[in-house]
């Protein structure tokens, strides 16, 4: 009898540690849930003001999610509806993409042509107060809810920017309509500005390229894609924009906790600009989907990345609807560039760093040239003698004030935007080099 029972006893002993661990884990979970229930009941019965069960449960859920990372959160039914509208390219608010940092609301980037943009809000600004009420203690969803409001109403943001003293900016709320793609001709270069990645972006890019090709014809020598202060958006749109400039190869991969949940997205044949030189502009306000585009084009050697290091948001948020209760935004994976580099916290480092600056023309006065000297030899290919100066004229090294009516050198295209000017100069230089090499 003992011999018959021995195999069963040995099997039970082998399984026991796993069984005991599972039971212990369940016991710990039950203990934690009991703790939650005790706190819930105590708050409901003893808090100084009456709080509904719905408020307590939603606050608990939001606290659980927001404690994970700055981008996970609970969306109530209204917030979920707003988010769905936003991805379509029109929504109400101030026009800023934000995250949380050290308890404050941090501006990832202002959106072009919105109230916040026009009021002077900048990427990297920390919002410390909303209508004189401190932000500390609020989660991101609460802060965003307070910034929303009736169209036409004002809100005062207290901003901390670098080493400056905090200052207030008054912004009038408005309906935010995002035209995610704008374009124009810069000489013989096609300039495309992408402000966000929403459902309008890929069709807008296709139209912009077609319009610029029609306007420039064979004269086009290169392209600039401007992703500065672009806070990101839909992954499929980032893939589509990147694919427009690639013939083949991986665009981005996403990797979750489970190794089997790794997804790779590849380009399809067809480069809409036929391999012409491409420069992508980024800065600290370029985040998420913008970094996917810049990283893929950089890794494939398809574009020169110029500007400053990007924001570094390399995590993927999945929106999980909760029927009847809004949705939860949960970080589920990380983005990786084709070379296998994670974008998270490091961002994209430009190939050529160009910080934004203001150019000021320095008046060095006019200098005399060889042709101005008495008795200077002629070029040999010109008829006539050079003009000469009177006796006692200053030496060549001397400076004299420019004569009245002397024209200054023409300003460079987009001279008010230093980073763009450098991108345009580089493309023109590449075109000139190619032309001379061909000859």
What are the residue numbers of the active site? 288, 299, 313
Give CA–CA dist 439/430, Å, rounded.
14
Q: What is the pTM of this model?
A: 0.76
Give CA–CA dist 149/174, Å, rounded.
9
Average pLDDT, the chain: 86
For residue 90, the model assigns a pLDDT of: 59
- 3-class secondary structure per residue, the chain: CHHHHHHHHHHHHHHHHHHHHHHHHHHHHHHHHHHHHHHHHHHHHHCCCCCCHHHHHHHHHHHHHHCCCCCCEEECHHHHHHHHHHCCCEEEECCEEEEEECCEEEEEEECCCCHHHHHCCCCCCEEEEECCEECCCCCHHHHHHHHCCCCCCEEEEEEECCCCCCEEEEEECEEEECCCEEEEEECCEEEEEECCECCCHHHHHHHHHHHHHHHHHHHCCEEEEECCCCCCECHHHHHHHHHCCCCCCEEEEEEECCCCCEEEEECCCCCCCCCCCEEEEECCCCCCHHHHHHHHHHHCCCCEEEECCCCCCCEEEEEEECCCCCEEEEEEEEEECCCCCECCCCCCCCCEECCCCCCCCCCCCEECCHHHCCCCCCCCCCCCCCCCCCCCCCCCCCEECCCCCCCCCCCCCCCCCHHHHHHHHHHHHHHHHHHHHHC
For residue 16, the model assigns a pLDDT of: 52
Quick check: 419 and 228 in contact, CB under 8 A? yes
For residue 399, the model assigns a pLDDT of: 35
For residue 231, the model assigns a pLDDT of: 92
User: Residues 79-136: pLDDT tens digits?
Assistant: 888 777 767 665 668 999 898 888 899 999 898 889 999 999 999 999 999 999 999 9
**pLDDT at 10 exceeding the cut of 50:** no
**pLDDT at 4 exceeding the cut of 80:** no
Strand partners for 126: 106, 160
Q: 61-65, 266-270, 304-308, 406-410: which range is least confident on average?
A: 406-410
Where do the structural domains in the chain lie, given as residue ranges? 94-177, 181-321+328-353
245 or 2, greater pLDDT? 245
For residue 142, the model assigns a pLDDT of: 85
396 or 238, greater pLDDT? 238
**pLDDT at 304 exceeding the cut of 60:** yes
CATH T-level assignment (fold) for domain 94-177: Pdz3 Domain (2.30.42)
Phi and psi of 33, rounded to 5°?
Answer: -65, -35
For residue 412, the model assigns a pLDDT of: 38
For residue 411, the model assigns a pLDDT of: 36
User: Residues 419-429: pLDDT tens digits?
Assistant: 999 999 999 99
261 or 412, greater pLDDT? 261
CATH of domain 181-321+328-353: 3.90.226.10
């Amino acid at each position: 009898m003992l011999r018959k029972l021995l195999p069963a006893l040995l099997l039970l002993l082998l399984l026991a540690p796993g069984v005991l661990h599972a039971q212990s884990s369940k016991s710990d979970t039950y203990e934690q849930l009991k703790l939650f229930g005790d706190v819930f009941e105590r708050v409901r019965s003893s808090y100084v003001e009456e709080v509904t069960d719905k408020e307590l449960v939603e606050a608990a859920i939001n606290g659980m999610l927001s404690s994970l990372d700055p981008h996970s959160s609970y969306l109530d039914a209204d917030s979920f509806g707003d988010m769905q509208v936003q991805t379509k390219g029109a929504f109400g608010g101030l026009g800023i993409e934000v995250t949380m940092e050290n308890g404050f609301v941090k501006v990832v980037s202002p959106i072009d042509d919105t109230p916040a943009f026009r009021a002077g809000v900048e990427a990297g600004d920390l919002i410390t107060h909303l209508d004189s009420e401190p932000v500390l203690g609020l989660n991101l969803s609460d802060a965003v809810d307070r910034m929303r409001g009736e169209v036409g109403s004002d809100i005062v943001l207290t901003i901390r920017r670098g080493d400056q003293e905090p200052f207030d900016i008054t912004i009038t709320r408005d309906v935010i309509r995002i035209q995610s793609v704008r374009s124009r001709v810069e000489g013989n270069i096609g300039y495309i500005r992408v402000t966000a990645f929403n459902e309008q972006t890929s069709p807008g890019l296709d139209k912009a390229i077609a319009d610029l090709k029609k306007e420039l014809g064979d004269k086009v020598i290169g392209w600039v894609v401007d992703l500065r202060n672009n806070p990101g958006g839909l992954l499929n749109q980032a893939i589509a924009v990147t694919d427009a400039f690639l013939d083949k190869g991986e665009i981005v991969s996403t990797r979750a906790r489970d190794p089997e949940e790794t997804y790779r997205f590849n380009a399809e044949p067809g480069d809409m600009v036929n391999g012409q030189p491409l420069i992508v502009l980024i800065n600290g306000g370029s985040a998420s989907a913008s970094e996917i585009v810049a990283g893929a084009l950089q890794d494939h050697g398809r574009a020169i990345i110029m500007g400053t290091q990007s924001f570094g948001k390399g995590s993927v948020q999945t929106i999980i609807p909760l029927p009847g209760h809004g949705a939860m935004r949960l970080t589920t994976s990380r983005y990786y560039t084709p070379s296998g580099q994670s974008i998270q916290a490091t961002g994209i480092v430009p190939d050529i760093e160009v910080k934004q600056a203001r150019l000021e023309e320095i008046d060095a006065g006019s200098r005399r040239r060889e042709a101005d000297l008495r008795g200077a030899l002629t070029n040999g290919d010109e008829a006539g003698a050079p003009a000469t100066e009177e006796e006692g004229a200053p030496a060549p090294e001397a400076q004299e004030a420019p004569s009245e009516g002397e024209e200054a050198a023409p300003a460079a295209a987009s001279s008010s935007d230093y980073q763009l000017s450098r991108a345009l100069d580089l493309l023109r230089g590449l075109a000139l080099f190619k032309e001379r090499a061909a000859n």
